[in-house]
Amino acid sequence: DAGVIQSPRHEVTEMGQEVTLRCKPISGHDYLFWYRQTMMRGLELLIYFNNNVPIDDSGMPEDRFSAKMPNASFSTLKIQPSEPRDSAVYFCASSLGQGATGELFFGEGSRLTVL
């Protein structure tokens, strides 16, 4: 079975550019999470969806960040305009039925570098 699939794996862009990260959760999973990992702050929850509906986006840093889940098999995290401090690894994770109280299945992450 395919796991959580993220793309791109690596992205290098210049400050001010728009960045779109993509995620395909495990088929049948009803929760989807976006996390950001940095050395300074560790793993931070940005936003999560339940049945394609955003439930909590309080972790989204600012208005430059937006996330969508148009259907059960696809989600995007967009940063516009990007800034050097957005450089991080962005993880998508999905789970079934138990939200974050159950096992989260993570993708391999998208490493973003903003110059």
Partner 1 sequence: AQKVTQAQTEISVVEKEDVTLDCVYETRDTTYYLFWYKQPPSGELVFLIRRNSFDEQNEISGRYSWNFQKSTSSFNFTITASQVVDSAVYFCALSEPAGGGADGLTFGKGTHLIIQP
Binding site for partner 1 (CB under 8 A): 33, 42-43, 45, 48, 55-56, 58-59, 89, 91, 93, 99-109, 111
Smallest gap from Cβ 25 to partner 1, in A, equals 14
**Residue 59, both tokens:** 């972790």
Instruction: Annotate 46-66 with b (16+ C-beta within 10 A) or e (fewer).
Output: bbbbeeeebeeeeebeeeebe
Smallest gap from Cβ 44 to partner 1, in A, equals 8
Q: Between 86 and 90, name the residue whose CB sits nearer to partner 1.
A: 90
Inter-CA distances, 16 with 78, 80, 81, 114, Å: 13, 7, 4, 9
Q: Between 86 and 109, name the residue whose CB sits nearer to partner 1.
A: 109
